Structure 1
Amino acid sequence: MSLPKITHLPSARLLTSFHQHRQQLLHPSIAPLPAPRRAVIQGQYRRPGQPKENKYPWQKINFNFLKGVEGIKKNFMLLKKEFFDPWVGPEGKPVLEHMLEQNRVVWEFRGPESLEQWTVSSDREIGGQSEVYLKVGKNNNTGFLYGTLSSTPPRDGETRYSGYCTMRSRQLMASFNRKKHHDWTSFNTLHLRVRGDGRPWMITIGTETYFSHQKDDMYNYFLYTRGGPYWQDVKIPFSKFFLTHRGRIQDNQHPIWLDKVNTIGFTLGDKADGPFQLEIDYIGVCKDYAHTEEFAYELYKRNPEV
């Protein structure tokens, strides 16, 4: 039996094939360990059970003349406000008041018009059975979030877990559909006045990102409600928030970019089926001079210095 001639192969290619064949003989059941890496998702995320939309981007545009005129009028009013506010001070406030500011109320519920700044969603969008509603509380002074949580997954053959309800603030928009960000660089603590039913909530803060695959990055921390008839003032330092991507905690952590905050949200998913309620008075930020921590979690370097 004659062996095949392999003299025509280059030496580097021959050595590579020899080592690969040797590793397969010695360790046939051991596969190379995959290196942990950040998930890069370029396409639009489609929820399980949701059909694909076979539409071109221009087919989703509403070509309405009256709507276009109202949009132009609204954008020019916003442009006028952007032009005259810097003459008064940052965000239309006097400069002295802005320099001495230590507490700022960002969101408060003082009437039905304040509900337009928020949006609610649940697993009903993917076929679940949870329900969530938002209304104005008594005397039009609070926001009342209530509903029913159900962890029964939809019967679509794909979804295995379900049971969540979310309340999230809308993105601030400047003139001509430009994003407007919250600048909280002068503060270091999130201040809430809430009254819950004893359930744990997840607070999510969304910031502006540089790359498209980071659009689902969120900073999270926990909100534990006591329950009962009494209000509770909750102060959470921004240094305690940790980075997640679609609910998964990332290995590479870094502090919040407080100069480019877009949204804030409250998510319930404690797998305890039944009714829930959360009453919110206001959501603000404050400056706590006793808190000197910059970031509560370890920061790892890819190429550490020796």
Structure 2
Amino acid sequence: MFRQISTKMSLPKLVRLPSVRLLCSTHHQLLLPSIAPLTVPRRTLIQSEYRRPGQPKEDKFPWQKINFNFSKGLEGIKKHFTLLKNEFSDRWVGPEGKPILEHMLEQNRVIWEFRGPESFDQWTLSSDREIGGQSEVYLKLGRNNNTCFLYGTLSSTPPRDGETRYSGYCSMRSKQPLASFDRKKHYDWSSFNTMHLRLRGDGRPWMINIATETYFSHQKDDIYSYFLYTRGGPYWQDIKIPFSKFFLTHRGRIQDDQHPLWLDKINTIGFTLGDKADGPFQLEIDYIGVCKDYAHTEEFAYEMNKRNPEV
């Protein structure tokens, strides 16, 4: 009796176990392959490189863009070792190769001046022709080879690529200063509080853009801007703009979270024209410098949103 009951009880177990295995194998073969593999993006949208509308994508690896040239390599080695030698020698003289007393008492400094064709090596031009627009911008020396003459034609007609809706800009921007072996070098203007320019234009408004070194990758497109209004005519303008007047923008959009300009790590400065007034333009620049205005005591001209406001 006991054996029969044990046989009847063990029989269903022998029959059910293969069925369970069969269902498990069937579920493993039918359901798992139907699940799509997870796709992980390489970068987020805000951290990806900005590509202008209408510009084709470059599917090249970084090493494919390098031009291997033996003679060019020797010139580069000679150039970088010369810069390295100057860096070591300047440290013995003082900050930036100036005596320490002169550096402490310095109140004015000319950063860029145009006294020959070699001064254009520090600047680059761009316009909406890069995205298929019709604007033109050129750069040449002014009269007596002592000024920079920026001129061209502005056109707000968008390209017919089906993507771009707005167009019409021309800009001039300084290059990133580099130390030996292509290390980034920054301008330190922490001892000054005002930008000093001597120029004359045709009455158009220009935007002055200052780019600083950032700590995070999503801040690489942050730019501090301020509008410059030229009065036109043959007379020169001595313009002083406090650094406290520059406001923070990101890809052309003014940010709600504003903070003062970081003067110890300045990378580039640029001039942009985009006033939607089609026609010729011109801007002549004598020099661009910085100065210390003791009468200006303002730290920042705009409201800063505090996350934890003081009571």
Structural mapping, 1:131-150, within 5 Å: 131-150=136-155
Q: Give the secondary structure class of the aligned counterpart of 1:176.
A: helix
Contact 1:109-1:281 within 8 A present in 2 as well: yes
Report what 1:41 is aligned to: 46
| Runs of 5+ consecutive residues of structure 1 not aligned to the other structure | 1-38
Larger radius of gyration between Structure 1 and Structure 2: 2
Contact 1:40-1:213 within 8 A present in 2 as well: no
Q: Give the secondary structure class of the aligned counterpart of 2:183.
A: coil
Partners of 1:225 and 1:298 lie apart in 2 by 27
Report what 2:208 is aligned to: 203
1:78 aligns with 2:86: no
Partners of 2:310 and 2:208 lie apart in 1 by 36
Report what 1:98 is aligned to: 103
Letter in 2 for 1:127: G
Give percent identity, aligned residues only: 85
Q: Give the secondary structure class of the aligned counterpart of 2:57.
A: coil
| Runs of 5+ consecutive residues of structure 2 not aligned to the other structure | 1-43
Report what 2:184 is aligned to: 179
Q: Give the secondary structure class of the aligned counterpart of 1:77.
A: helix
Report what 1:234 is aligned to: 239
Letter in 2 for 1:139: N
Report what 1:9 is aligned to: none
Report what 1:247 is aligned to: 252
Report what 2:58 is aligned to: 53
Partners of 2:96 and 2:62 lie apart in 1 by 35
Question: Following TM superposition, by how much is the alpha carbon of 1:72 offset from its aligned partner in structure 2, in angstroms?
Answer: 1.0
Letter in 2 for 1:147: G
TM-superposition CA deviations, 1:205-225 (whole Å, max 9, x none): 000001112111100001100
Q: Over the residues paired in the alignment, what is the CA RMSD in angstroms?
A: 1.1
Report what 1:18 is aligned to: none
Partners of 2:308 and 2:102 lie apart in 1 by 45
Letter in 1 for 2:268: T
Partners of 1:203 and 1:193 lie apart in 2 by 14
Contact 1:135-1:143 within 8 A present in 2 as well: yes
The ranges of structure 1 where at least 4 consecutive aligned residues each deviate by more than 4 angstroms after the TM superposition are none
Please identify which structure carries the higher helix content.
2
1:302 aligns with 2:299: no
Letter in 2 for 1:279: E
1:69 aligns with 2:74: yes
Partners of 1:167 and 1:139 lie apart in 2 by 22
Taking structure 2 as the reference length, what is the TM-score of the superposition? 0.85
Partners of 1:74 and 1:212 lie apart in 2 by 30
Question: Following TM superposition, by how much is the alpha carbon of 1:69 offset from its aligned partner in structure 2, in angstroms?
Answer: 1.3
Taking structure 1 as the reference length, what is the TM-score of the superposition? 0.86
TM-superposition CA deviations, 1:109-152 (whole Å, max 9, x none): 00111111111110000000000001110101000000000000
Partners of 2:150 and 2:96 lie apart in 1 by 29
Partners of 1:63 and 1:213 lie apart in 2 by 32
Q: Give the secondary structure class of the aligned counterpart of 1:210.
A: coil
1:214 to 206, 219, 225: 219
Question: Following TM superposition, by how much is the alpha carbon of 1:303 offset from its aligned partner in structure 2, in angstroms?
Answer: 3.0
Partners of 2:160 and 2:126 lie apart in 1 by 19
Partners of 1:75 and 1:212 lie apart in 2 by 27
1:121 aligns with 2:153: no
Report what 2:271 is aligned to: 266
